């Protein structure tokens, strides 16, 4: 497929809904050609059509799917300029009850998959002398919460991966940053609210105010578009001197 050679190609994983959808829309608005990767083919395809992007259905819990995804983008567009590792899942359970297979799945999707995608696009952005990597972290990349051992471990690991990529990429014009939101009003968080409401015997509203926003200075949920605006900045030319950083958008949670 022939496109303007000055057009940057962005890959957004988990881009069919929630934060990923907002990021894909923001990057498209900035003039990037956005490739959306997700399991949800219906929503992903609809979004791709709406933003004049491209959708590739991928199960990124499989390592070989990461290589296949990058190869498909390279074949279609000649490379990837911007990588947003956004795909993720959540499981809430005490360590002693945590299913081992769920641990393995979360580590694969939220830590190994970002590493593999960075590895596979690296030769292209290194040769080009310009690249942007944004990993979607969490406030839990810096602090822990009860019953989230796998999620906290993966996000802490992702911070280390981000810093390492920043150090290796600096001389090649490659930046790598981690975005660390608190609770964002997405389908994933809505499911968490429902699950915790059932477990704790609270209403969904009480879970938001008494659990999720308990440590926040600003007592409201974050909107996906707010996170997307930060990601769009980090992917822009204006952020060429910004790398290796954890960018908090956490309602003041970590200010304590």
Q: Which stretch of DSSP H or E encloses residue 132?
A: strand 131-136
124 a catalytic residue = no
- H runs (alpha helix) in 131-255: 149-169, 187-200, 204-206, 224-234
The active-site residue, picked from 77, 120, 124, 151, is 151
The token pair that represents 8 in the structure block: 């940057």
Positions marked active-site: 151
């Amino acid at each position: 497929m022939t496109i303007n050679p000055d057009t940057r190609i962005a890959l957004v994983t988990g881009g069919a809904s929630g934060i990923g959808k907002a990021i894909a829309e923001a990057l498209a608005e900035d003039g990037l050609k956005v490739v959306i990767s997700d399991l949800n083919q219906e929503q992903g395809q609809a979004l791709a059509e709406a933003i004049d992007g491209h959708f590739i259905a991928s199960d990124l819990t499989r390592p070989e799917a990461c290589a296949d995804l990058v190869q498909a983008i390279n074949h279609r567009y000649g490379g990837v300029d911007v990588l947003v590792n956004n795909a993720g899942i959540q499981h809430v359970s005490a360590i002693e009850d945590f299913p081992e297979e769920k641990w393995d799945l979360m580590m694969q999707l939220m830590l190994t998959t970002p590493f593999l995608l960075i590895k596979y696009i690296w030769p292209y952005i290194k040769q080009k002398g310009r690249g942007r990597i944004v990993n979607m972290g969490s406030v839990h990349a810096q602090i822990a919460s009860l019953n989230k051992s796998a999620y906290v471990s993966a996000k802490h690991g992702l911070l280390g991966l981000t810093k390492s990529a920043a150090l290796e990429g600096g001389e090649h014009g490659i930046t790598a940053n981690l975005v660390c939101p608190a609770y964002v009003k997405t389908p994933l968080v809505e499911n968490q609210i429902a699950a915790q409401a059932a477990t704790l015997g609270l209403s969904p509203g009480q879970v938001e105010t008494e659990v999720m926003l308990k440590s926040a200075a600003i007592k409201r949920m974050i909107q996906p578009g707010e996170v997307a605006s930060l990601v769009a900045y980090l992917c822009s030319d204006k952020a060429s001197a910004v790398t290796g950083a954890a960018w908090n958008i956490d309602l003041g949670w970590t200010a304590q």
